[in-house]
Amino acid sequence: MFLNGTLDEEIYMKVPGSSDTSSDEVWQLKKSLYSLKQVLHVWNKLLDSTLKKLGFDRCDKDTCVYLHQSKKGFIILAVHMDNTLIVSNLNSQLTEMKQALGQHFKVKDLGEVKYLLGIKVTCDRKSGCIELLQRTYINQLLKHFSLQDAKPATTPLLSGTCLTQDNSLTTDEEKLDMANVLYTHLVGALMYTAIGSQPNITFAVGALSHFLSNPGRHH
């Protein structure tokens, strides 16, 4: 999808080493490439203009979400980079919109959503329920941080736990001890988990996030 973006400025690149042309030459890009800093901007600009031509309105509160309303019903389209989730109350509208998008972009229909951004989605149409699970994502986090054998706790933040700036790093020895601890990485991953499917850890993650700039071993 990113290769569809049209550049607003002249950009040149060095000739790839595998090319037979002279190394002194440069090539002018006609379309964006994945390695360009502008790639996300030009792709978003193209997608936004195309969706608006198809009758979508962009959500003011979440600019990655678009809404198409008609007498037939509605279509909600959520975008994450070059992945798109489409929801509608009518299958016929859904099919028509997929075909319309296919006229503008080379798209691949993956069918009913099963996994989305690390979240397992299970739809029970009889009961009208949607279940969101991040078990696989959480297990990957545990393994990545070598916590797969850790003992479970009764609460996300044990009663009596006190987190303050006094526990932050002050000496060179403490800084060396924490040099290889991916604290911000872990807290960011936990934030995503809290938003996706585990709101019960929100308070604990919020407490840990206060010390992102200078976490200590206690944190």
- For residues 11 and 83, membership in a common domain is answered with yes
Q: What pLDDT score was predicted for residue 23?
A: 66
Residue 101 structural domain: 2-16+24-111
Pair 8, 83 in one domain:
yes
Q: How far apart are CA 120 and CA 73, in angstroms?
A: 27
What does the block give as tokens for 103?
């006229």
In a domain, 120, yes or no: no
| Structural domain includes residue 34 | yes
CA–CA dist 116, 132 (Å, integer): 10
Whether this model's pTM surpasses 0.75: no
Q: What are the φ/ψ torsions at residue 212 (nearest 5 degrees)?
A: -65, -35
- Res. 187 pLDDT band, cuts 50 70 90: very high
Between CA 70 and CA 214 the distance in angstroms is 52
Q: How many domains does the chain have?
A: 2
pLDDT at 204 exceeding the cut of 90: yes
Distance CA 117, CA 152 (A): 26
